[in-house]
Structure 1
Amino acid sequence: MFIIDRKSNRITKLNQKTFSELGFRERDHLQEWIANNPESIGEELLIIQKEFNGFHDTNERLDLLALDKQGNVVVIENKLDDSGRDVTWQVLKYASYCSSLTKEQIKSIYQDYLNKISKNEEAEKNLIEFFEVEDYQEIVINKGLTQRLIIIAANFRKEVTSTVLWLMNYKLRIQCFKVTPYQMGDQLLLNFEQIIPMKEAEEYVINMAEKNQADINIQEESKTRHNTRILFWKKLLPHINKKTELFKNISPSKDNWIGAGTGISSVSYNFVMSRSYARVEVYLQRSVKEENKFIFEELGKFKDSIENKFGDSLTWERLDNKKASRIKYQKDDVNIYNEEDWEDMINFMVTSMLNLENAFQKPISEVRSKLISKLNTDEI
């Protein structure tokens, strides 16, 4: 830091000092400065306790406890010339301890603080004023996992900064402020600098953390979905394999469908399930669109006999805008992710697949012969 001399048009470097050189102590000085002027760290905070130790089964105490304008609890940990290597673990513990504090407990903690510093004030009135509301009942404090962490030190070890940056990927709201004392003659100056996240990039860092967490959530959700599907297929396959050879060589899958051959390449009998239905189908997915449409039309010539043998009407989807075509039978209002629906789904799917195989076996054999003939004469 430099001081500007207007007359000489020169700058003079200020003498950077350490707190220990100046005889300052963490609790008696740095903590008091921040407690009495929390705006020094760049925002309006309400300090509600110093040296808070109101945790069950532990004698640990955090330096400063505060609230921000959104009603989030803010844990502030101060270090002097060195952050130490364990400060991140400290603030995480404190945040976990504070996460269970209720609104009334926080009001009580704040009232104790006001009494301790001999301020003849009421916590409830101060909270109403700080949050700029008319009624105490309107105030929402410490909702969910919204606790914030602020670490203040003259120097931060690499193991601290790297850990903080990593934790931010999980949407933990952590800020690191570097505080530096300077001396100019008899005058002392103090500079607060937010180094993590950098003030100019704070919004970007928060957005990236949210994106990273969303990606992690998607991965975890996908993993859960995959495991559920595998378990469902493991339950279904033994039932169908007792009654037909069709799926004997098919293994449980993480996908929402499994299929078995019909006798025509890339035309399959499929089981399909989702959050809203269970389905059996004949799915035409050959690489050439015209071949799928030809098979669909030829099978359509047997529609009446197929449905009579199946025992119900089927849904015939030519899917003109797609390469594939489908003939399906579906049960709605069942959910693969609700295990209570599984028995109903399995009974429906097994019975329907047996009927589907029985109804399509002969028509597919005849259409296969026609397809081979068409391909040999290049008419498709």
Structure 2
Amino acid sequence: MTSTLGKLQRVDPRSIWKHEAHDFTPWLVDNIDILGEALGMELEVVDREADVGDFSVDILARDLGRDRLVVIENQLEVTDHSHLGQLITYAAGLEASVVIWVSRDFREEHRQALDWLNRGDGVTTEYFGIVIELLQIDDSKPAVNFRLVASPNNWSRQSKRGPGIDEVSGKRSSYQEFFQSLIDELREKHRFTNAKAGQPQNWYSFSSGTRGFTYGMSFAQSGELRAEVYIDLGDRATNEHVFDKLESQKEALEKEFGEPLRWERLDTRRACRVACYTTGSIEDPAEMQEQHRKWAVERLLRFKKVFGPRLPELAKAVHPAS
């Protein structure tokens, strides 16, 4: 029987990506969801080669589920002191909450340095070390594997149970439990998200796969649940332009969606959104929370089915070179 098994082997990343900045970084920008899946985050690219004083960070992203800025630095060689210093400089200059160092191999002293940074008193920035591996079985195509080697002390527990679940009480705990159940179903049954950790907040955002558009679910202050497509491509005029193009298809979109939608330009804010609502509160009894979760899952899946195929063309029309 063993003769039918293939041989697993590692492939040199340089055989696929000859140049770190010109080859690997663009690939990671286009496949940021693979990195997000390895970390249990919903990552969306904000910028590439973003300026930090006289330097530039490889990738600037956002952790959508927590609305946190993420710095990503790549290295197709063994880790070195220079990149460690750059990471700390970028985190400070951009006030990033998450720092991800991707490398082909980590020196033990650099892994220990990330662990030390994560243990700092009053630390608010999370540091992750990720080894990128290319794995191949016999003559198959190489496959990417991101292997976590350094993370905040409680990250493994957070990814399974939700962050600080033992430390959160009252309404915030109820939000966390609700969203943990929601994202678990969306991830495990529908492959809708990479997220693993519910948060003690009244909202959660999910990647649409198209930069500038997110799907979201929240408990609104008006005693309603809201599911939405959120539009924020960087400036008010662009958002309104895209919103108007979508609204011009209102009749067809609502027919395909299966119910009326609210078209909200949000004139006092930069972003716009298209949403649907139902009555509900986090303080409703458990049996109603179950109905709230089912409602949210169904609407988010509908938004992805109906709006998802239209978003790339809208983004391309606004930013042809992106």
TM-score if structure 1 supplies the norm length? 0.38
Question: If each structure's helix is expressed as a fraction of its own residues, which one has the higher value?
Answer: 1
Question: If each structure's strand is expressed as a fraction of its own residues, which one has the higher value?
Answer: 2
Larger radius of gyration: 1
Higher relative contact order (CA 8 A, sep 6+): 2
TM-score if structure 2 supplies the norm length? 0.44
